[in-house]
Structure 1
């Protein structure tokens, strides 16, 4: 009798475990694959729901719009990010909305090992995501790693002003 109860408990526990695994597989089957390598903003926002929701929810202030409008047209930003990374989900859409195609942004998706096929992340010594590398006239001004100290626009603006 005691053994039968233990077997019943074991079988019940096993059925819960099996159902849990089945739901995890179902959830992951609905998610898009990891973004690795070059991706444009339209592809990112249309493929990854978390990014598009953050993009829609974020508001750019008038002051930040004026700051971005005043940046030289030779500013470019390389963004090394993970489509799986919560910091990237928060910060990358904010940058895209703030610069509103006024600044050239190169989006480079990384895998869990912070790498991508062309080796740019290794060459740039990327250790954390997202990493925003800001250039003026093809010269690196500085980096914002994981999260800005203020806002992305303010931090980038400070890098540009320091270089001028």
Structure 2
């Protein structure tokens, strides 16, 4: 009888422990969910986007004032856009850091979005992170990616950085800079991955 009670007590304790571990795990998963389209009100800059954003967020007021104008007025370099298609930019990941308070972001972010629309770039490969004036995001991604200026456009393949555009394109055109970055991708990332497996 006493032995049965011990077995029952052990089962109850084991079940409580298992339930506690599961509850803690679920809480951590929930805590790691990224808030998307966060907007904050600031004293000096008014409304500001902060953290992970969807591109549609920039089509809303007050951001649409600068976003839509630049998007519509920008004349794409079609030769460079053709090169981006040829070099299969849609197979790369892009991480873009912007400041909705930043003039360089007001210029180059809408241009980038127009380029991506033109090449039918998949939204699933695009990460947009808005930062405050201190270049900080709620998730600290600016530290992970070593970002100190905006806009910063990072091109990745298989989780490895191929290149980046910082603040403004060196050629004067985002699409031309992207072409130059893709030309640098000699497949060394793939070679590195296969070397690790052997």
Q: Structure 2 length as normaliser, TM-score?
A: 0.63
Could you give the per-residue CA deviations for residues 116-147 of structure 1, whole angstroms, max 9, x where no partner exists? 11110122121111111111232101111100
Give the distance between the partners of 2:159 and 2:82, measured in 1 at CA.
23
Matched, 1:64 2:83: no
Alpha-carbon contact 1:68-1:98 (below 8 Å) kept: no
Aligned partner of 2:91 in structure 1 is 74
Higher relative contact order (CA 8 A, sep 6+): 1
Deviation at 1:45, TM superposition (A): 2.4
Alpha-carbon contact 1:136-1:160 (below 8 Å) kept: no
- For the pair shown, the structure with the greater C-alpha radius of gyration is 2
Deviation at 1:155, TM superposition (A): 1.1
Q: CA RMSD in A?
A: 1.9
Could you give the per-residue CA deviations for residues 94-135 of structure 1, whole angstroms, max 9, x where no partner exists? 000011141532111000110111110122121111111111
Unmatched segments (≥5 aa) in structure 2? 1-41, 187-198
Aligned partner of 1:87 in structure 2 is 104
Matched, 1:122 2:143: yes
Aligned partner of 1:37 in structure 2 is 51
- Among 138, 162, 178, the residue aligned to 1:156: 178
Matched, 1:55 2:76: no
Deviation at 1:32, TM superposition (A): 6.1
Paired residue secondary structure (2:164): strand
Alpha-carbon contact 2:80-2:179 (below 8 Å) kept: no
Alpha-carbon contact 1:67-1:153 (below 8 Å) kept: no
Q: Structure 1 length as normaliser, TM-score?
A: 0.75
